[in-house]
Structure 1
Amino acid sequence: MSKSKQRAPAVPLEPLSPRERGRGEGTAEARHLTKPEPSSGPAGHLLPEGEGKGSQRAASSEPSSSSERSSSGWHTKRFDAFATLQRGFDLPVASRKVGTIPVLGSNGIVGWHDTVGIRGPGVVTGRSGSIGDSTFSDTDYWPLNTSLYVSNFHGNVPRFVHYFLQWFDLARFKGGVSVPTLNRNMVHGSEVTVPPKPEQQKIAAVLWKMQRTIATQNRLIAATRDLKQSAMQHLFTHGLHGEPLKDTAIGPMPESWDVVALGDFGRIGNGSTPRKTTPEYWRNPTTPWLTSAKVHDGIIRSADQFVSDVAVKECHLPIVPAGSLLVAITGQGKTLGNTALVEFETTISQHLAYVRFDRKDVVPSYVYQYMRSRYEQLQGIGRAGGSTKAALTCAFLRDYPLPLPSADEQHDIAAALATLDRKLAHHQRKRATLNDLFQTTLHQMMTAQIRVADLDIDISDVADPVRDAGKMIAGSGQNHFVDANEMIADQSRRPRR
């Protein structure tokens, strides 16, 4: 099969990241974008959609002279005159008590405690481990020693500082080999160019509103996933017609359904991998060849790799028909036990098994949805095999039982679940687009390519009062607050201004 016959790739429906699940509304992936080449054009202005876009021109990343800085209101200063970073505090898991105070590590919320370490609002970034990520807390919190927290905002807007750290690429200041660690002394000595506080508030307000829109998509994605999980559990147990249930070896199901082994549907086998050291196998490739990573696509509509006709013949690669079920029988992480449907004729690697459907009374999309619902069970069985490398076998799959209703009911169940898959894909694509827009806007605002100083923007969500740096660490005289002197013992600190 030629490459030209392949369709556009499907959007993979990856699960929510720990950051998305843990930080709530104020999150979006923090990635550093490479700065564009400087331009001699003036800074643009943020305009309503469709207004004045043709007149916008890219500006340089930073004003290049003191006169430009003065006219724009942006100022260049040492980082530690903009924000002072302080190492967090040790708090072993065994020492944490049940409470509502978030414990922030290098990659966001890692637990909860009953004692306040630092009063919010606050900003925490990774010191070791995940370096460069930034977490904003609008409540009191406890920063771990794997993180750095902002101990003094120097009059700057906390949310703006949070967004600035996302853009600033702190990872370039890391040191160490085995465990890279952020060198805050190097960070403190670097120069930054930042706008005055009123413009900081407006920049933060715009970015915060964008993140809230992304958070809405996160919630819709999570809700759709939960809905599909509940729908699968109900449909594969009760069906669509309200029939009385019967007990079977795999649990209750409608009386008219049968328990059938996967191997009864058709041939089950696995593929192979042509040697990479044999050029003839990869030269002039024409036949699709799939690896186990493709099962994450769910519905596989395109191939990333192709092999030659020589490889198909000499390596005895099975030709898997369109409409076949693929199962990842080995793999690390989330791959093992995942299933997919392939929409085109292909070959596969030895890490995949295929199920070719020969019976007319079996709807492949129904079998696919059922096997997806059994993912955790399949992965658990594969990992419990006792070998050093987790795996499922074709023999196991041939005997694997599943409930089988009539072909019409199979089709209706599969169609109902496919509707939820489409809804999930829609929100996934929308979130990806919003994340890209956020990253672009973040970069353009931090480099003054987009200016919002003269726009009427509601800043009420970000105009939090900044507490005096000397009061940000809770004193021992207050209930449920730790002793500041004990927390900062043996740690150097900059003098307060």
Structure 2
Amino acid sequence: MSKVPAGWELKSLGEVAELQRGFDLPAKDRVDGNIPIISSGGYSGFHNEPRATSPGIVTGRYGSIGDVYFIEEDFWPLNTSLWVKNFHGNEPKYLYYLLSSIDYKKFSDKTGVPGVNRNDLHAIKVFVPPYKEQTKIAQILSTWDKAIATTEKLIGNSQQQKKTLMQSLLTGKKRLPGFEGEWLSEELGSLGETYSGLTGKTKEDFGSGYPYISYMNVYKNTEINIDFSEKVNIGPKENQYRVSYGDIFFTTSSETPEEVGMSSVLLSHIEDTYLNSFCFGYRLFTFEKVLPEFCKFVFRGDEMRRKISKLAQGATRYNLSKKRLMLLRIVLPPLPEQQKIAAVLTAADNEIELLQKKLAFLKQEKAALMQQLLTGKRRVKIHTTEECMDA
């Protein structure tokens, strides 16, 4: 541990924030009310009476560890959690940030289920600044938290707006200015054909060779991220399908029917690249009836997702039949309208992406600042007026 900053003290965490195990509250004993129940995973329902008064700090004791919650109302901490019983005269919000800086996994029991012992946490040595400095540090970090919360809200609003746009534009319920006329219904099998992902591969084949598109790349993205590093060895005589611009990929199986057949479109020109074994590809015969840019959104739209989910077959794991998928019908506007719809939804995606980058930057900057402030490497001014985020 580094040198104690001037004016600060070195104490054990238990001297600063006394942790106590939460209280049992079986579902049968809960009574409807407005008192939040806090478990290791956060808010977990309501009850009619509290066991702890606000402000409060709760973290996971068993099951889920690492998250720390600041509670601004009376609450009931569940037995899977630890809560701060005694702040010992310290600023509660400062202690929230102090507890948030701890790597709880280092103290997790060596068992199958994550868990921490409060006595181990109490023994941790921490630097403790004077109360006024604690308050100032808490104010500074709270300002960053407000900026993060505002950005998260903007992302949520933008995502909801995009979802509303997709529901109206992809079904023809709302037409963009300048477009009219009927849309055509086409069977997927008449627009393209499917092909398989990698076959005949073992784990020894992976790690070097040619690039391939992974399952998670398809599952997580509406458009394939080509900045990938997954590699597979392909022999000179192997008959494996290469991916091509405009191909649409579908996940073959999932644990739930709602997640079967998640799609992603390749909108980049790449060479000698393959598809993982747990997905299959769909290649359009021509781009004169349907545009890949439009497919990026229509196959992830609510209506098409409902249709694909209904095709899922299985009990403990669900699978998607390529043949049955090809029997589905898709409603298509004329190409100029497809292009315009794709442009509008792409603009919405770009706005969300910019906000997500801003959010990541704010979280990164706050984490760096928090580390400096909580260790005294960066000191705050107590008696002068300053912008909190400029500390």
Regarding TM over 0.5, the answer is yes
1:207 equivalent in alignment to 2:148: no
Shift in CA distance, 113/242, structure 1 to aligned 2, threshold 3 Å: farther
Counterpart AA for 2:364:
D
Alignment-derived partner of residue 377 in structure 1: 306
Name the counterpart of 2:15.
Answer: 81
2:231 paired residue number: 306
CA distance, structure 2, for counterparts of residue 337 and residue 243 of structure 1: 34
- 1:18-37 matches, within 5 Å, as none
2:264 aligned residue (332, 340, 344)? 340
Matching residue within 333, 348, 354 for 2:281: 354
After TM superposition, list the pairs within 5 Å mapping 1:458-469 onto structure 2.
none
**Is 2:35 aligned against 1:101?**
yes
CA contact (8 A) 2:207 2:230 kept: no
Q: TM-score, normalised by structure 1?
A: 0.71
CA distance in 2, matches of 1:330, 1:339: 12
Tell me which residue corresponds to 2:175: 240
Query: Is 1:292–1:335's contact at 8 Å kept on the other side of the alignment?
Result: no
1:208-287 matched pairs, under 5 angstroms: 208-237=142-171, 238-240=173-175, 256-273=182-199, 275-278=201-204, 283=208, 285=209, 287=210
1:296-330 deviation line (CA, Å, top 9, x unaligned): 1322241321334417x42x211221121111122
Partner of 2:73: 139
Task: Confirm whether residue 156 of structure 1 aligns to residue 90 of structure 2.
Answer: yes
What aligned pairs does 1:408-419 form with structure 2 within 5 A after superposition? 408-419=336-347
Conserved in 2, the CA contact under 8 Å of 1:269 and 1:394? no
Write the distance in 1 (CA, Å) between the matches of 2:105 and 2:385: 32
**CA shift for structure 1 position 433:** 1.2
Could you list the runs of 5+ residues in structure 1 that have no partner in the other structure? Answer: 1-60, 245-253, 461-497
The answer (yes or no) to whether the contact 2:152–2:359 under 8 Å persists in 1 is yes
TM-score (norm 2): 0.89
Given that 1:338 and 1:372 are in contact with CA atoms closer than 8 Å, whether structure 2 keeps it comes out as yes
1:168 Cα offset (Å) = 2.1
- Note if contact 1:292-1:331 (Cα within 8 Å) is conserved in structure 2: no
For residues 244-294 of structure 1, give each alpha carbon's deviation from its aligned partner in whole angstroms, at most 9, with x where no partner exists.
9xxxxxxxxx86112212222212222124523555x765x2x32112110
SS at match of 2:330: strand
- Given that residues 255 and 316 in structure 2 are in contact (C-alpha distance below 8 angstroms), is that contact kept between their aligned partners in structure 1? no
Give the partner amino acid of 2:251.
Answer: A
Give the CA RMSD over aligned residues: 2.6
Superposition deviation, residue 361 in structure 1: 2.3
Do residues 63 (structure 1) and 3 (structure 2) align?
yes
Q: Deviations over 1:112-133 (max 9, x none)?
A: 2232221101000110012222
Higher relative contact order (CA 8 A, sep 6+): 1
One-letter amino acid of the structure 2 residue matched with residue 233 of structure 1: Q
- Other-structure match for 1:368: 296
Counterpart of 1:185 (choices 119, 128, 138) is: 119
Which one-letter code corresponds to 1:392 in the other structure? L
Q: Judge conservation of contact 2:294–2:342 (CA < 8 Å) in 1.
A: yes
Q: Say if 1:160 and 1:204, in contact at 8 Å, map to a contact too.
A: yes
CA shift, 1:177, in A, is 1.3
> Share of identical aligned residues, percent?
31
Q: Which has the higher strand share?
A: 2
Q: 1:243 to 1:101 in 2, by over 3 A?
A: farther
Large movers: runs of 4+ above 6 Å: none
Q: Is the 8 A contact 1:340 1:368 kept in 2?
A: yes
* C-alpha spacing 1:379/1:158, structure 2 compared with 1 (3 Å): farther
Distance 1:152 1:297, change over 3 A: same
Q: Distance in 1 between matches of 2:112 and 2:234?
A: 45
Partner SS state of residue 348, structure 2: helix
